[in-house]
Amino acid sequence: MYGRSGRDAGGRRTSDTLVWGPVNVFVMQSWIGLAVLVALLLVKGFSLVNALAHRADAYDAAGKLTKQKWVAILAIGFVLQLAVFLFYLGFLGTILNLGFTIAAFVYLADVRPALKDVMRPRW
């Protein structure tokens, strides 16, 4: 607590006493930005691990890019996301990171379901 004693003559709290301090919008923005960076790091890590888990011939059977290309795209995106998380890379790093984030979501929305469909056993 900070401020004066915190109570007026009637025992009520005064308006200048805050228990946790003032809400700083810049601190909130920093925490939200950190949460987004961590969430995107997890998404890119999951998509990279998932791409590594499938066989190379499944990509050809699904009619998608080869496994090597998807793994390269997702690995570069993961490393770039990690670099953005640890260091500030400026405008170019942000734009590149956005492109690789879109690639990871394309993998998760288009390639992964196609690979699951190809790998599903047919009886």
What domain count does the chain have? 1
User: Is 25 domain-assigned?
Assistant: no
Question: How far is it, in rounded angstroms, from Cα 14 to Cα 21?
Answer: 14
User: Is 3 domain-assigned?
Assistant: no
User: Is 13 domain-assigned?
Assistant: no
User: Is 16 domain-assigned?
Assistant: no
User: Is 23 domain-assigned?
Assistant: no
Domain interval for residue 49: 35-119
**pTM for the model:** 0.76
**What does residue 13 show for φ and ψ, rounded to 5 degrees?**
-70, 140
Identity of the residue numbered 8? D
pLDDT in tens, the chain (123 residues): 444 455 666 666 665 544 556 677 888 888 898 899 999 999 999 999 999 999 999 999 999 999 999 999 999 999 999 998 888 888 888 899 999 999 999 999 999 999 999 988 877
User: Is 19 domain-assigned?
Assistant: no
Count the Cβ atoms, other than its own, within 10 Å of residue 54.
19
User: Is 8 domain-assigned?
Assistant: no
Question: How far is it, in rounded angstroms, from Cα 25 to Cα 4?
Answer: 24
User: Is 26 domain-assigned?
Assistant: no
